[in-house]
Each structure stands twice: as structure tokens, then as C-alpha cells.
């Protein structure tokens, strides 16, 4: 089975042994930021509309939602929520990257534990 780009990226990031403390801290802050944005957007009109177009029942979590989705739908939902609520005052690519990583990692509890400790 061919590994997707997102799966390869998530695997490499989770396998890093020595990440400088300042980088770890910034990543933790960005992940918390994205999680907060996703939860804040969970009841918005644009997220409700998007959810109606998605098929629930996959293996992945969309932050702030009880339903589970395919990796690509969870990433779309997380990314839309994060970008919809964010004013991009930190690092514009951070929301998309974190959304992809959280969708992939949530499909596998061992991977999720490695990603978030």
C-alpha cells in the first residue's frame, strides 16, 4: 500500500528524536491554538453546512465533534474551522499543517499518543 504525503509527514514528525525545546513549545502552542479555533467554530453556520456535505463514519476525529470521519474529511473540517476563526496572526501555514497531522494521528491511538505525548 502506498503511503500518502500526509501519512509520510506525520510519520516523520512523530519519529523525530531531538527537537529543540523552543520548537516543541511553539508546536504545542500552535496545536492548542488550532484546537481552540476548531472548538470555537464547531457550531458556526459554515461548519454546519460543511458537515452536511461529509460522510460520517470514518476512523478520524474532527476536533469539537462527536462524529468520526475519513482522514481527508476530518482534515477538511479541522482546516476549515481553524482558518474560519483564525486571524492568521501567528503563522498562516500552521493551521493547515496541524489539521492534517491531527486527522492522521487521530486515526491511530498509538500515533496520536506519539504526536501529542
Report yes or no on 102 lying in a domain.
yes
Of the given ranges (13-27, 31-45, 78-92, 94-108), which has the lowest mean pLDDT? Answer: 94-108
Angle at the Cα of 55 (from 77 to 113), degrees rounded to 5? 55
Report yes or no on 2 lying in a domain.
no
* Tens-digit pLDDT profile for residues 44-93: 999 999 999 998 889 998 999 999 999 889 989 998 998 888 765 555 45
Report yes or no on 71 lying in a domain.
yes
Please provide the average confidence, as pLDDT, over all residues in the chain: 79
Look up the domain containing 54 and give its range: 24-116
Count of structural domains, the chain: 1
- 59's enclosing H/E stretch is strand 56-61
Report yes or no on 15 lying in a domain.
no
Report yes or no on 105 lying in a domain.
yes
Query: What is the C-alpha separation between 83 and 85, in angstroms, rounded?
Result: 5
Amino acid at each position: 500500500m502506498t503511503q500518502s504525503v500526509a501519512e509520510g509527514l506525520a510519520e516523520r514528525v512523530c519519529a523525530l528524536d531531538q527537537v529543540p525545546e523552543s520548537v516543541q513549545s511553539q508546536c504545542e502552542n500552535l496545536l492548542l491554538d488550532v484546537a481552540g479555533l476548531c472548538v470555537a467554530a464547531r457550531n458556526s453556520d459554515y461548519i454546519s453546512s460543511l458537515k452536511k456535505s461529509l460522510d460520517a463514519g470514518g476512523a478520524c476525529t474532527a476536533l469539537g465533534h462527536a462524529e468520526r470521519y475519513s482522514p481527508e474529511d476530518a482534515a477538511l473540517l479541522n482546516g476549515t474551522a481553524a482558518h474560519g476563526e483564525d486571524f492568521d496572526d501567528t503563522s498562516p501555514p500552521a493551521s493547515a499543517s496541524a489539521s492534517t497531522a491531527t486527522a492522521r494521528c487521530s486515526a491511530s491511538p498509538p500515533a496520536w499518543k506519539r504526536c501529542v505525548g
